[in-house]
Amino acid sequence: MAAASEEAIKQFSALMELLEEPLKTTFQHVHQGYARGTLVRFLKAREWNVPKAHKMLMDCLNWRIQNGIDSVLAGQPVYAFGVGLSTLDKASVHYYVQSHIQMNEYRDRVVLPKASKKFGKQINTCLKVMDMTGLKLSALNQIKMLSTITAIDDLNYPEKTETYFIVNAPYVFSACWKVVKPLLQERTKKKIKVLYGSGRDELLKVMDYETLPNFCKREGSGSSNDSSDGVDCYSYDHPFHQELYNYIKQQALNEDFIGPIKQGSMHVDVPTPDLEEAKIVETIESELHKFRGANGLSHSFNRIKIEGP
């Protein structure tokens, strides 16, 4: 398998050496000096099939050019935080898509290169801790918006997340997860870990206490608002958000804009979800329909114990 993998990387590299501008420049924005690691990610996403991986990457590069993704960190920042505590059911899809792409680009162009330099090796993936505290049925009604973001990630930022840790999950999430899990590819299922309560003890096996999000620093379930846990990671005052905001402002100053930038004006072409994802969306919508008719169920759910992913 190792020999076959090396041959696939070699073939893929040869194809990418044929790139001309502007594809060549946008590819540099994608790989950030680690072209081999980028090719491996796309190969993994397409089961090491070189023609399919090449098409996927070319589609990604063209999508970036057509939608001005290389300049997304030089615009006016838009923020969207959390899952359960978000205003997903009230927000414009364009605000969420822009915010999500900005976060992806900042991660790939700033955070991961900085980590790679610090530790002296390539680091091109991350861990995600997703807080479901306060998750409402109304937010899950916007499953198509979530599907849009997922499609963007799957097709343009493949294999960037090593593990998704789900914490403080209420009953509505647990119920949907049980029916969705069998529909996922085995590779995807292995990435998703649904933890009991705040997940503190499990997360401490893979990160230091200082690295834990504030909503994971208390035992049991529920987000912690204890000031002793440091700045709330949902707050604009959190160091990460301040760094991101200042970075984007600085990038904007370096750009020559003809006119003022309208906040939230970035509209991107949304990739069409594949058949697998469409089936998942249909299944979740079916489950949500059951909840709506179940004894006048409220929009919030008490947490229950979740036994593993």
* pLDDT of the residue at 300: 40
Which is it for strands 192-194 and 126-131: parallel, antiparallel or unpaired? unpaired
Cα angle value 19/55/183 (rounded, 5°): 150
CATH 3.40.640.10 fits 93-220+236-248, yes or no: no
Which amino acid is present at 71?
S
pLDDT band at 253 (very low <50, low <70, confident <90, very high): confident
Full-model pTM: 0.79
Q: Domain ranges in the chain? A: 1-71, 93-220+236-248
Q: Which two tokens stand for residue 77?
A: 């920042």
Fold type of domain 1-71: Helicase, Ruva Protein; domain 3 (1.10.8)
Give me the mean pLDDT over the 240-267 stretch. 71
**Among residues 266, 247, 293, 222, which one has the least CA distance to residue 101?**
266
* pLDDT of the residue at 81: 43
pLDDT band at 90 (very low <50, low <70, confident <90, very high): low
CA distance 73 to 62: 18
Give me the mean pLDDT over the 172-196 stretch. 86
Q: What is the pLDDT of residues 124-162, one digit of tens each?
A: 999 988 888 877 666 655 677 778 888 899 999 999 999
